[in-house]
Structure 1
């Protein structure tokens, strides 16, 4: 029994030792194989860092506005007798738009005008009598006051009548009517909008840090989201105050050449052009890799084999698809701008510039 147990232990030891030895041998051979294995070169595209003309600008979003645009409101309470315009009609300055019922006021005006005529006649008669020594000065003074009161009453009723007739304050395109004939309206009721589409403006905001770069008269471009339409313009006003909540400054620009294609309230992408600069070292933004450690690029190193070195850089302004490089590389360095997601420092590469990412300076 003891002999059999010893034989079993020996056999088990041999089997376990064989398995452990085989695993150790296998791991050693695999490690040697990978240690001597050279990874294939990574295909990348490159760009040469060169000084260039830098067309910088400030980008913002804004809203289209009419140079003249208002919501037309009722001035006096009353019953709408007539609406004299149609939606999207081009109206002229002073054109009659809405007429409220004014029959009572017109009758009152007639009575006031009659009272004025009587007051004028009485004043003239009293002055004549005074010249003859019949009428007293006090009588003439009373007649003058009555004449002035009658004249003021006529002016008051005339103003009330004018409020019953709504006219266009300027030429433009009128919107959809919000009232109907026979409707009773109160002061302040909005009955339509009026927009002068011949001259358009844009309002936009920029951070307070950029306000020193802008001035009245600077040119800009405005682009819509619909129809891909672009217009030129210039800054005409800068709000002399920074919003204490948002820290933004409001600007207004005159947009030229809209020709009725731009409407108030439309979303606009604004770009204010800044003066150009020569000799700025820049790279496509696709060449710069950002991480927690900073911004870096892969620069080609030509030796026995073509390799790359990871170089940390200091970036500056961005414009379009380009980024300014302040420090880290020099003019003439060949930098990887595509394929760097598979690279590490010292990796072998092969350059293929048949397809390269597009970059532009706007």
Structure 2
């Protein structure tokens, strides 16, 4: 009898223990679910920017090539042997300075003979003129003396011109490049001596699409630089082709930069160009970093205050926007947001619609150089 009672008690205790374990597991799962269901996600730290109206400074952007306002490849128009090279590479020279002298010994030797012939011809002409005036000379003799004088002077002018051509002079003030000849070398007409450039002012050749051609006017301001974010040189439009290239659908434009300080722009250099257009007031803008592009369109996260559990919190709301022009890290907004609203400028990768956010603008990422961010500076 006692044994049956002991077995019954053990059985009851085992059943109770199993029931307790089952109940504990159900209780534990319920508490975990309730915990996560009631747990609030911490707010995501982001930086914000305000939707603003600004004066927009539009421009027609293009890629150009620099060309010296005065620049040539120096050469002789007459053959001869190089006698003297009077310049060094990168030397500044004045207009009229002799740069290269060809051997002109033969021409100078002939010069004395021709000058003497001119004097004889002039004397004969004066004598014939006097005799003709007194009635002693014939008209034929006078004409013959006049023709002889003209021919002698012509030979002298031709010889002097030949001597002048044997001395290569600077056609304008500028900087000469590396000499491409040697002393004693025989030169044919057209042989390039050196590159000669006036770097004080530079022409800029660029092209614009046919749709933008009507916006380009003579005298219009242009900004030029070797980088698209550093257009430090100011110039003006000096010419525009009156036709569209049928192959490229582009219009050729030429500008000039009058002040090329320290020769910063070199002929042949690749340049970024902007033709400045009239300013436009009251354009709605936001930083480009605030815009997210997706398959469904461009959108931003606006920051809206909400009441959650009796507390005022900032919530991110997804708003699709229509974009306009972009310039200098700023984008024009045609529709979607209004001036005065706040948008998320950075930290969007952590957000989804309805996320609670915390604003931290100690570092304005919209004004940080992207190059420095990439390098960690």
Interval containing the TM-score (normalised by the shorter chain): 0.7 to 0.9
Q: CA deviation at 1:218?
A: 4.1
Number of equivalenced pairs: 327
Aligned mate of 1:178, from 155, 159, 180: 180
1:232–1:255 Cα contact (<8 Å) kept: no
Q: Which residue of 2 aligns with 1:358?
A: 366
SS in 1 for 2:77: coil
Q: What is the distance in 1 between the residues matched to 2:135 and 2:280? A: 92
Structure 1 residue matching 2:171: 3-state secondary structure: coil
- Equivalent residue, structure 1, for 2:62: 60
2:158 maps to 156
Alpha-carbon spacing, 1:56–1:37, altered in 2? closer, same or farther (3 Å): farther
* Structure 1 spans left out of the alignment, 5+ residues: 1-28
* CA spacing shift, 1:249–1:291, aligned 2, 3 Å: farther
Aligned residue among 281, 284, 302 for 2:284: 281
1:290-329 equivalence runs, <5 A: 290-305=293-308, 306-329=314-337
CA distance in 2 between counterparts of 1:37 and 1:157 reads 107
CA offsets, 1:5-48, max 9 Å, x none?
A: xxxxxxxxxxxxxxxxxxxxxxxx9xxx7x96989355443322
Matches within 5 A, 1:87-166: 87-131=89-133, 133-166=135-168
Q: Cα distance 1:37–1:102, how it changes in 2: closer, same or farther (>3 A)?
A: farther
Corresponding residue for residue 341 of structure 1:
349
CA-atom RMSD in angstroms: 3.3
Whether the aligned pair in 2 keeps the contact of 1:90 and 1:172 (CA below 8 Å) is yes
Unmatched 5+ stretches in structure 2: 1-28, 309-313, 369-377
Structure 2: distance between partners of 1:55 and 1:236? 18
Aligned twin of 1:6: none
Give the drift of 1:75: 1.6
CA distance change for structure 1 residues 255 and 243 in 2, over 3 Å: closer, same or farther?
farther
Superimposed CA distance per residue, residues 180-211 of structure 1 (whole angstroms, 9 cap, x where no aligned partner): 11000011111122222334444443333334
Q: Find the aligned partners of 1:270 and 1:71 in 2 and give their Cα distance.
A: 26
